[in-house]
Amino acid sequence: MLSSRSIDGTILRSSICRILGTPCLVGVLCLIAANAGAQSPSTAGIAQPPAAGDGNDEGELSERPKKRSHNDDLFGWHYGSHGLQFRSTDGRFFQWFTFRNQFRLSTPFDGTPTSPEAIPATGEGHTKLAVNRSRIKFGGHLGSARVQNFVEIDVKNQRMYHFFVTVQTTNWLDVRVGQWKVEFNRERVDSSGDQQFVDRSIVNNDFTLDGQWGAMARGRLFRGRAADSSYFVGVFAGEGRLTTDDDGVPMVLGRYQWNLLGRSVGFSQGDVEYSPEASATIGVAAMRGRGRHTRYDSSGGADLDGFATGEPGQYALRQWMVDFAFFRHGVSAQGEQHTKTVIDRLTGGERTLRGGYLQAGFFPVLGWSRALSSLELAGRIAYVDPDTSVDGRNRQEYSGAINWYINQHRNKITFDLSRLVVASTADVRFRLQWDLSL
């Protein structure tokens, strides 16, 4: 264990806030827009990185292209870009099936420590090799291409992870009903199989809304124009997965996303398609709700450090965030800035949390060989202030990663190294992961 004072958490926090929480972000992305039409160097003869995997499997509103298999339009049973697929001769019935596993090696610990005690002392850590995730996914359309279905089963933990139906009514309106990771912040909606790192940043633990049961209206406006935008407005039970509202007050959230170059960035990390044209988005989102819990995770409702599960409707939650994403020619960047307030309606206590991250990646050796051209380097910094009224409790993350995309996001190997700091206690974590979808 390394006990040290890392780069000052205040400096890290203020740097991320300046980029994500001020007009500086808009100015940077406007410069990107002004130069997006510039002619790029020819890539003729260069071995391209493989295309993205199943970034659109969950029905995201994106025109980001998917590398299609020549089998995708065949009738009957076949293996295509989504895995095992079946298409009826009239095209009205289409279903795909995927089995996905994550095999992870980590040392001296896994996970995200939220207190100094969670970082193991020197010699007390351990090396862990395990199946981290095991999922069965299937989706498609039944009777009409406008009625999309999606189901994801968590085999390892024996629970239903996603199940929803999306009805595409017009070009600018979809209606979705069921349970899924709600479209609040980009990092959480990005599939765990479409990450640039072994897992999400330290920000995810405190600020994700994760999976919720409810309904949402979503759509794309002014497609291809300067005002190209995506919107998401939903009402949810607000108690996490497989639970209903316990006090009659739902969770309400909204997200607006400006696709400032007329092209949206899908909910998937890394420009593994080596996009020939630049895509950039700026998103803002807000949520309010109340319930027994102060945070959420893949198991449902959970509690922040210092809070216990309360009575129905005890905690009022208010959150807002801003995020951005950019892809062009194998270079990608994204980031988020969050603010969250928890109000205890029984005691009158109140706590405000802040957090954010910045990450970027690129393919450094394009054109050497297919294997080397599929290697991506990525870096990430992140911070969490778990209570803005108390000094000295900040958490920081400094991570680097190497990805080898063997077959898109469907078959990749990721190695990441992170220096994690909680207050003045720090340690380095190593992880190696193979993510495979069949």
What is the tens place of the pLDDT at every residue in 144-188?
Answer: 889 999 999 999 988 888 999 999 998 899 999 999 999 999 999
pLDDT level of residue 67 (50, 70, 90 thresholds): low
Return phi, psi of residue 32, to 5°. -60, -45
Average pLDDT, the chain: 84
Q: Which residue has the higher pLDDT, 97 or 36?
A: 97
Q: Please give the pLDDT value at position 120.
A: 85
Residues facing 64 on adjacent strands: none
CA 361/CA 399 separation, integer angstroms: 12
Q: Please give the pLDDT value at position 301.
A: 86
What is the tens place of the pLDDT at every residue in 310-369?
Answer: 898 899 999 999 999 999 999 999 999 999 999 999 999 999 999 999 999 999 886 666
pLDDT level of residue 90 (50, 70, 90 thresholds): confident
Distance (Å) of CA 247 to CA 5, 155, 161, 211, 318: 44, 31, 24, 19, 17
DSSP annotation string for 197-264: SSS--THHHHH---EEEEEEEEEEESTTSTT-EEEEEEEE-SS-TT---SSS--EEEEEEEE-TTS-P
Q: Which domain holds residue 146?
A: 2-38+47-437
Res. 102: pLDDT tops 90: yes
Of these ranges, 84-98, 242-256, 318-332, the one predicted with the greatest mean pLDDT is 318-332
Q: Residue 409 gets which letter from DSSP?
A: B
- Residue keyed to tokens 């610990």: 109
CATH number reported for the structural domain that contains residue 141 in this entry: 2.40.160.10
Q: Where are the beta strands (DSSP E) in 298-393?
A: 300-302, 315-328, 331-344, 350-362, 375-385
Q: Lowest-confidence range among 45-59, 224-238, 396-410?
A: 45-59
CA 11/CA 57 separation, integer angstroms: 39
Helices (H), 284-362: none
CA 226/CA 34 separation, integer angstroms: 12
What is the tens place of the pLDDT at every residue in 111-155?
Answer: 889 988 888 877 788 999 999 999 999 999 988 889 999 999 999
How many domains does the structure of the chain reveal?
1
pTM above 0.85, yes or no: no
Q: Quick count: other Cβ atoms within 10 Å of Cβ 369?
A: 9
